[in-house]
């Protein structure tokens, strides 16, 4: 543990959320949920319940049109109806959603049982089956089903990298999990080691999170199977490409993923969800979320069911203060601005931030021409030249922008964050990146 790892670029955010020391509260209120029948990468789903049905926590409410994960009820209560909605993350299409009024009892379906076989006697296929039935996805990353990763890469993975760091401003949900349920994380890591048929794991921690790190280290004990990797606390430490390069020295470029180099990166939250599926038979129906920002009355860490509305989260934190505000799903650099507060929270939501509206409003009077200061290049963790790419896009030369590495952009947002000209280079880079993707799809 004496070595401290690092990477080029990035920014250390010194101010942490006021929720750092606050214990996670479970949301148990009687409330209406709207549960989307959608999991990234899984087949389209149809409802298997109808209005008036009574459901229990963990019960299937949406089934896939072909082989894949189901959606489960996050609460016990009564189905009020089936509606079509558009998620804030993808407004291009409608998906079905189940409206459920929670009875506040959180009564589990009786069929939920712990896995009754020793881990040492369990095969990767059996682990994949359990995680498929529990609909466990890779939280904090792409949100795809973990069982598919196991089936595709068992025997091909040499490094299991578990990200237990939290370098995003305001976020404290991972740190609270490390404080409150460290054994769940370690239990999940052991199951994943068995699933990928490997005998060790690299656990990533940040050097600024000493208390949470110590909590997890205590849960690790003196196990020789866990290698603790301490990194300098700089955003975006969670980037899988950065972690892969730091661990094995290979660059994860456009069109490739860590698995192509024998690595897979999973989050601490995912490990805990894996453990819950085995220890309790519980599907993934809830997650820890940080609700913070200057405009929330009482910031909190909450354990909330999927399908809860942003309005309900705000009410749980005693509402909004300091006038008009903007709501951001995610971190302030890359998060999605939410206009419809009645929209549902999904597995992809790690934090909800409420900030003064003026901070998010575009101000054309502040924008000026690039002054070639080089700040964007200095902080870019992918070693790109954001100002050069943006200039190529402004000149209409998408081919040059792509040649300069636009496809390699991690979309961390730091180039726009540090830009003194407020010119938003990341937006230009995304234009080139999306253009390249569209061209490739057209050529297929």
Q: What is the pLDDT of residue 9?
A: 93
| Fold held by 4-20+112-279 | Rossmann fold (3.40.50)
Q: How far apart are alpha carbons 222 and 191 in whole angstroms?
A: 18
Q: What is the pLDDT of residue 89?
A: 84
Q: What is the pLDDT of residue 362?
A: 58
Q: How far apart are alpha carbons 214 and 208 in whole angstroms?
A: 11
**Of 220, 218, 245, nearest to 231 (Cα)?**
245
What distances in angstroms separate CA 305 from CA 29, 187, 211, 348, one per listed residue?
A: 11, 23, 28, 12
Q: What is the pLDDT of residue 2?
A: 54
Classified as helix, coil or strand, 371 is: coil
Q: What is the pLDDT of residue 92?
A: 84
Tell the residue number behind the tokens 């700089």, with chain if given.
234
Q: How far apart are alpha carbons 356 and 335 in whole angstroms?
A: 15
| 152-161 b/e (C-beta count within 10 Å ≥ 16 → b) | ebbeebebbb
Q: What is the pLDDT of residue 208?
A: 84
Identify the segments of the chain with pLDDT beneath 70.
1-2, 15-16, 358-365, 441, 444
Q: Select 368-443's CATH number: 1.10.3720.10, 3.40.50.970, 2.40.128.50, 1.10.1060.10.
A: 1.10.1060.10
| 173 Cα distance to chain centroid | 11
pLDDT tens digits, 153-171: 999 999 999 999 999 888 9
Q: How far apart are alpha carbons 425 and 433 in whole angstroms?
A: 12
H helical segments located in 154-224: 173-180, 182-195, 210-220
Q: What is the pLDDT of residue 435?
A: 87
The ranges assigned to domains in the chain are 4-20+112-279, 368-443
| pTM of the shown model | 0.94
| 263-284 b/e (C-beta count within 10 Å ≥ 16 → b) | bbbbbbbbbbbbbbbbeebbbb
């Amino acid at each position: 543990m004496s070595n401290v790892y690092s990477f080029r670029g990035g920014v250390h955010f010194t101010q942490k959320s006021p929720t750092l020391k606050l214990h996670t509260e479970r949301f148990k209120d009687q409330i209406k949920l709207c549960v989307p029948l959608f999991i990234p990468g899984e087949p389209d789903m149809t409802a298997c319940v109808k209005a008036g049905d009574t459901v229990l926590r963990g019960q299937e409410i949406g089934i896939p049109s072909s082989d894949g994960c189901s959606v489960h009820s996050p609460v016990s209560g009564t189905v009020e109806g089936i509606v079509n909605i558009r998620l804030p993350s993808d407004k291009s299409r409608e998906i079905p959603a189940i409206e459920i009024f929670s009875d506040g009892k959180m009564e589990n379906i009786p069929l939920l049982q712990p896995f009754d076989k020793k881990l040492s006697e369990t095969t990767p296929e059996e682990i994949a089956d359990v995680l498929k039935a529990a609909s466990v996805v890779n939280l904090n990353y792409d949100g795809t089903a973990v069982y598919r990763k196991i089936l595709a890469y068992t025997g091909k993975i040499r490094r299991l990298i578990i990200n237990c760091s939290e370098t995003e401003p305001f976020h404290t949900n991972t740190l609270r999990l490390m404080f409150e349920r460290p054994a769940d994380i370690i239990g999940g890591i052991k199951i994943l080691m068995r699933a990928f048929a490997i005998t060790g794991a690299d656990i990533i921690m940040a050097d600024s999170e000493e208390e949470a790190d110590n909590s997890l280290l205590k849960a690790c004990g003196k196990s020789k199977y866990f290698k603790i990797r301490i990194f300098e606390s700089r955003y975006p430490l969670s980037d899988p490409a950065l972690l892969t390069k730091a661990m094995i020295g290979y660059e994860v470029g456009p069109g490739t993923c860590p698995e192509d180099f024998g690595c897979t990166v999973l989050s601490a939250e995912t490990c805990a969800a894996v453990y819950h599926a085995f220890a309790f038979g519980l599907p993934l129906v809830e997650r820890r979320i940080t609700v913070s920002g200057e405009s929330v009355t009482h910031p909190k860490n909450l354990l909330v069911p999927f399908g809860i509305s942003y309005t309900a989260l705000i009410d749980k934190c005693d509402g909004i203060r300091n006038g008009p505000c903007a709501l951001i799903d995610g971190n302030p650099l890359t998060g999605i601005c939410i206009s419809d507060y009645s929209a549902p929270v999904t597995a992809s939501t790690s934090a909800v931030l409420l900030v003064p509206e003026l901070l998010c409003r575009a101000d054309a009077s502040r924008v000026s021409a690039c002054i070639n200061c080089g700040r964007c290049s200095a902080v870019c963790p992918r070693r790109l030249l954001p100002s050069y790419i943006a200039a190529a896009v402004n000149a209409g030369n998408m081919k040059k922008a792509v040649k300069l590495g636009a496809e390699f952009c991690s979309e961390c947002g730091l180039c726009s964050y540090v830009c003194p000209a407020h010119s938003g280079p990341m937006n230009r880079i995304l234009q080139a990146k999306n253009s390249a993707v569209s061209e490739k799809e057209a050529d297929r």
